[in-house]
Amino acid sequence: MVRALWPWMLVAMVAVGATQLSAGEGGRGGGRKVPMTMEQITQRLGADAGLTDEQKKKVEAVNEEFTKKMAEAAKKEGVAAAQADLDKAREAKDFEAIRAAYKKLTEAMGFNAFEEYKKALTPILNEAQVGKLFPTRPGRDAGEKKAEPKAEK
């Protein structure tokens, strides 16, 4: 009986992993999750930088495509283990372990999910919307340097 259930349990675990990878919200704490739900996007943009109807349609299309891409990535060898390592590191709030686990996850998936998602949405959004949706984090985002302390005179 248990042997007959094993394949189904494995399928369920992979499905849950794919859902967690692609969910905008979930049991994991912290991190940047993609794709974002329309509710999350609307919330982040606020009333002053809302999406037009045309932008909403394009964002929904990107989200559908990206959800499929994330589900496919979740099937790759090593992704589930890398995701588990990332979840443990986040739970422990061990930032060095988080960076290492995220790098491992990115390598297992074959792409950086956040950067790919941002790249897909950037042409759809205006500059203000991009800034609100993907705020830069000095010293943490690619290509940015930490602010140098000002020397006292």
Listed in sequence order, the residues at least 6 apart from 120 whose beta carbon sits closer than 8 Å to its beta carbon are: 62, 65, 66
> Within a 10 A sphere around the Cβ of 42, how many other Cβ atoms?
15
Predicted confidence at residue 42, as pLDDT, reads: 87
> 101 and 86 in contact (C-beta within 8 Å)?
yes
Predicted confidence at residue 19, as pLDDT, reads: 41
What percentage of the chain has pLDDT greater than the value 90? 51
Listed range (4-8, 32-36, 92-96, 108-112) with the worst mean pLDDT: 4-8
Predicted confidence at residue 3, as pLDDT, reads: 55
**What's the pLDDT band for 48 if we cut at 50, 70, 90?**
confident
| Choice between 34 and 80, residue whose per-residue pLDDT is larger | 80
Burial of 12 from C-beta contacts in 10 A (0-12 / 13-18 / 19+): exposed
Predicted confidence at residue 55, as pLDDT, reads: 93
Place of tokens 């094993």: 6
| Choice between 47 and 133, residue whose per-residue pLDDT is larger | 133
**What's the pLDDT band for 46 if we cut at 50, 70, 90?**
confident
Predicted confidence at residue 117, as pLDDT, reads: 94
Sign of dihedral through CA atoms 31, 96, 70, 65? Answer: positive
Predicted confidence at residue 34, as pLDDT, reads: 82
pTM: 0.66
